[in-house]
Chain A
């Protein structure tokens, strides 16, 4: 039937679809449909099955990722080069799936007990992860834009999930309004780029930006506007105003998801655009990113030092961490071609590490707040005396975030630092110094929480042990083990990140 219609259509060339390359996305999409049907056809009391299906689906999607990783031959390039499945996209898809799975683990009790709409919650979570996976493969402005909306719009609604509380609505509204504003600016930038290059494919845009068009002012405005939309997503200063209120008002599992997965997705888009599309004008990107990175690190750290609420502190800490990840972009294209590769792999490495560690920290925060019922750091006093395992786990994550060996963070930070200094430019050294100073400042608040947990007295003298549900135990366990193993054997993630460079040769 369809074949005859296709035959009748003149000039239509049926696209050659590599189903294997699309399989990870299709598995997540199938899970989305299954969760939707489960939600429709089950009774209220068995809605918890939605979380099980979501978790299994996310783990199941890792299987085609592995078969794709061992597949021989060139990276699959579908739909005229708009959708590419290379090692870079595979590594990041794995990151999003793992982050999604841990988010499901930390959500299951919180969402069930809070009487939130469970089925729809996991549905939107899966939809957002689907968008993140698509954006890792997107090599075309339209695909990037649509995938970006796919991952953003569900998170706007998840941020407002505590809709009975004023702060919940505020969280969603702020995130949404600033988000659509940034999207508008980004689309305008994309339209300028398209107007000048006549193509939406990043590879062709890269050729034009490296050529005559790149020298015109309109190209510069287009590049900066396009990047602004994604800089909002990673909460870079001055586009960070939404982060603290949204992080505090959203359900804590959603905050964990926003602070790692959604942020990583923004970075993925920035990396693709900068390395594949805008590399020809790296001289414009460098000072822009330098200013943003230094401002983001400094402002994030300074405000984090003053916070008394642990979730707000982590919100500002994640702003500062975004600054660290942006630092290497202030030297891109300044050195030889292999520095570009090194910059890319150091950023991917940091994203992988930061995702695991921050998710772990949020898993502990959720476990502890189940007992204390408050987000104040003071309520964490003496945690070690009654919940030693949680306190030690948190200590591991705080060490990792602060960059103290043997937790994994130091190696990732060291990689960023090497990439920046190796470029041998004034801007690079300045960025390196700013990064070192900010690492020390960040220890101030990370170690402050440590002191409260280990030194202070229990605020109300109540030392009954914390009862942590199995899903949260699993989430904390997975992330602690990953943090420690990779901390002692950093080569594991290092190799992964080294492979995660684009198939194209860069920086010619």
Chain B
């Protein structure tokens, strides 16, 4: 179902993972090619962060295979980022902690996310959007082949989100790196996304997002320019999950989902 090809930066094949007795991931496949943007969506507790950690090599899956291209450098942007207030640290010092970074690479990365003016600011004084930019710069400093961004726009207002999406899109086209991104929104994803994967312990569905411009209600909400940056992902599930999370065959679930997107919920 995914375009698993030999040139993938990272490839996850039939991976399952369980914490104690809970099956968090079941038979998941995922691949990211150079220059490709893959967005992971799914409800809370669906296993998105676990899958990201498996891709990063932080967790070894209970079963299945993970292959990374030899010498692959990954730039990682974690979610819920917070630095202890007792630790005084400037943006410059924070970025210099990235492994294999020189002083020039550091300033170049900050300039790339338009945050060079923040270089001597205390990290803890940054706004939500500024923090996300600096984290993006930290992921860029190592000149990565693959960027893994866990909810990069969470806690940022809509305009800030659009700017960050612009930025990520530009980074992809300039550097040609692959991007694996987790979205906090079930229906709205970045327009430049090549492939959306909807995860709920297993891969529920996957495909291309549709332009927001096709959806009048989003247009009304965000204005016409939004269509260039945001896209709607229409889920096409052939099943639904009962209260225990078990898969139940139900073709109607897909239609339900589509209706709820149209009504802007």
A binds B: no
* Chain B interfacial positions (CB closer than 8 Å to A): none
* Chain A interfacial positions (CB closer than 8 Å to B): none
